[in-house]
Amino acid sequence: MLFFPIQFLLFTHSLWKEWEKTRQGRRVSEFLLDSVSRYQWTAMAPRSRQRRHKKPPSSVTPMVVTPPTVVTSVPLTLSKPDPSIDALGFFSLDNNVPGLSQLILQKLNMKSYEEYKLVLDGGASVSGFGFGCLQEMFQKMEDTFRFCAHCRALPSGLSDSKVLRQCKRCRNVYYCGPECQRSDWPEHRKVCQELRLVAVDRLMEWLLVTGAFVLPSGPWPCLAEVVQGWDTWFSLRCLQLDATLDAVLGSHAMTTLWANVGRPKPDPDVLQGSLKRLLTDALSRPLTLGLGLRALGIDVRKIGGNTVHVVGASHVETFLTRPGDYDELGYMFPGHLGLRVIMVGIDVSAGFTKSTSTFPLEPGTVQLSGHRGLYHDFWEEQVETGQITHPDLVVAFHPGFHASPDLMEAWLPTLLLLRDYEIPTLITVYSHQELAASLQILVDLDTHITAYGANPFASLKPEQVYSNPNKQPVYCSAYYIMFLGSSCQLDKKQLEEKVDGED
């Protein structure tokens, strides 16, 4: 069968992010503070840290927690893995549109989620999986969007006389009839224009996957400090970018794409806008790492180079990532002595860990590698034992610990570890609501927050909640939070200094 990896990527890329995008900015800290005893909080801190906490006795309490009113009898364990992002993606699809996950599996010629997971993990390929031609691939992909945006009916649930028709403005959502479309308009009108961009971008993404759209590269032709956000980045890459975009617009791949997608080719300025959004989406992660290194004042001329850990990395960060994708991070720091980026998470794609390796770090190079597993295990096995150097910066893209008690439970050991070892940390979130909820949790955990705000290197590509299309689209890494150590430790230090001064 043809096009196996590409169509699989296109089908599943949106799925991986689906759950992330649907989660609400829920306050889980209240839940945790009420139900977890202080003993349990301490038990979750990294082991060596607990040892260090033994003396002096006054510093035993790692954080100030309101004494719990209810103590759960079930202790939280360190070994519980994070819920898999794609499993949650399937869950949220069916929550919003009952039967949609089955429809997707059917379009992939798969019977179950287990079969899907097997292919995703690089296991046995499923017989009959794949498509004969591009047209079929795009057709089936479009079929996965065919449900009524208002009543959520799938084609199989409609009477024979009814067919799903597209909104002509955005060419993104479907309706089972004029009544549903009319009733939905007050809601849909708020997002119709943005969804129109989404519908173009998801087709254009194929060009990135096939390699027809190569990102601009090479050292920045000006002082790196000048680049403070996308505006300055675009003006500095201007000439090179125009040539790149013109080449893609006139490419054979572009012609092939629009000959197979079953809708007319948009105007060149629409296509160009889409390419630019895709570009910001691909470069948002490396440049956000750079933002963290800069803002936290990390010395990039350190002998032996710098190490950044991307914690909680998933398929989203690793499946489509190629070694050269992080070069832009290097150009942000001319004269750096080597930057090592290690992706750590239980959903790091199997292909990524195979394709990356750890050679000695050369000055001026960016090295990518992956580690499959939980971060606190990785820390104990690799960092504590000295096999991997301590990180200069830890970054988590959309950790989402505010969204559910399960996720908070999975993230807590890592957050405490980062706080107690005073590792400079940057996290990103999708929305202002998530920003507020995440900040509250980090304050409750007594982390010392050094900065937060709108990310100047946020992705400019709108992300639709595919199974709930009228939900306001979000942007990847729209906001950031940086923290360093504990606010309690800071108080303690200040106190010690004061005491010393009095002596």
List of residues contacting Zn ion (CB under 5 A): 148, 150-151, 167, 169-170, 176, 180, 192
With respect to Zn ion, which residue has the nearer C-beta, 43 or 158? 158
With respect to Zn ion, which residue has the nearer C-beta, 193 or 357? 193
With respect to Zn ion, which residue has the nearer C-beta, 153 or 313? 153
Characterize 284-302 residue by residue with b for buried, 16 or more Cβ atoms within 10 angstroms of its Cβ, and e for exposed. bbbbbbbbbbebbeeebee
Least distance to Zn ion from the beta carbon of 13, Å? 22
Least distance to Zn ion from the beta carbon of 105, Å? 23
With respect to Zn ion, which residue has the nearer C-beta, 154 or 403? 154
Rounded Cα distance, 256 and 153, in Å: 32
Task: Dig out the tokens for 463 from the structure.
Answer: 């992300």
With respect to Zn ion, which residue has the nearer C-beta, 179 or 422? 179
Least distance to Zn ion from the beta carbon of 206, Å? 22
CA atoms within a 13 Å half-sphere pointing along the CA-CB vector of 282:
27
Rounded Cα distance, 147 and 149, in Å: 6
Q: What are phi and psi of 18, to 5 degrees?
A: -55, -50
Residue whose token pair is 């606010």: 487
With respect to Zn ion, which residue has the nearer C-beta, 14 or 447? 14
Least distance to Zn ion from the beta carbon of 191, Å? 8
Least distance to Zn ion from the beta carbon of 187, Å? 11
Residue type present at position 297: G
DSSP secondary structure, 69-83, as one string: SS--SS---S-PPPP
Least distance to Zn ion from the beta carbon of 172, Å? 6
DSSP secondary structure, 301-368, as one string: T-TT-EEEEEET--HHHHTS--GGGGHHHHHTSTT-S-EEEEEEETT--HHHHHH---PPPPTT-EEE
With respect to Zn ion, which residue has the nearer C-beta, 188 or 448? 188
Rounded Cα distance, 74 and 420, in Å: 25
With respect to Zn ion, which residue has the nearer C-beta, 192 or 449? 192
Q: For residue 175, give the 3-state DSSP assignment.
A: strand
Least distance to Zn ion from the beta carbon of 265, Å? 19
Least distance to Zn ion from the beta carbon of 17, Å? 21
Rounded Cα distance, 330 and 81, in Å: 33
Characterize 163-172 residue by residue with b for buried, 16 or more Cβ atoms within 10 angstroms of its Cβ, and e for exposed. ebebbeebbb
Least distance to Zn ion from the beta carbon of 99, Å? 14
With respect to Zn ion, which residue has the nearer C-beta, 170 or 257? 170
Note whether 342 and 308 are within 8 A (CB).
Answer: yes
Rounded Cα distance, 49 and 105, in Å: 46
Q: What is the DSSP letter of 379?
A: I
With respect to Zn ion, which residue has the nearer C-beta, 157 or 216? 157
Burial level of 74, CB count in 10 A (0-12/13-18/19+)? exposed
Least distance to Zn ion from the beta carbon of 244, Å? 31
With respect to Zn ion, which residue has the nearer C-beta, 88 or 103? 103
Least distance to Zn ion from the beta carbon of 97, Å? 11
Least distance to Zn ion from the beta carbon of 144, Å? 17
Rounded Cα distance, 393 and 395, in Å: 7
Cβ atoms < 10 Å from Cβ of 423:
20
Rounded Cα distance, 318 and 179, in Å: 43
With respect to Zn ion, which residue has the nearer C-beta, 169 or 390? 169
Nearest Cα neighbor of 413 from 372, 375, 370, 373 is 375
Rounded Cα distance, 316 and 13, in Å: 7
Least distance to Zn ion from the beta carbon of 10, Å? 21
Burial level of 151, CB count in 10 A (0-12/13-18/19+)? middle
With respect to Zn ion, which residue has the nearer C-beta, 192 or 295? 192
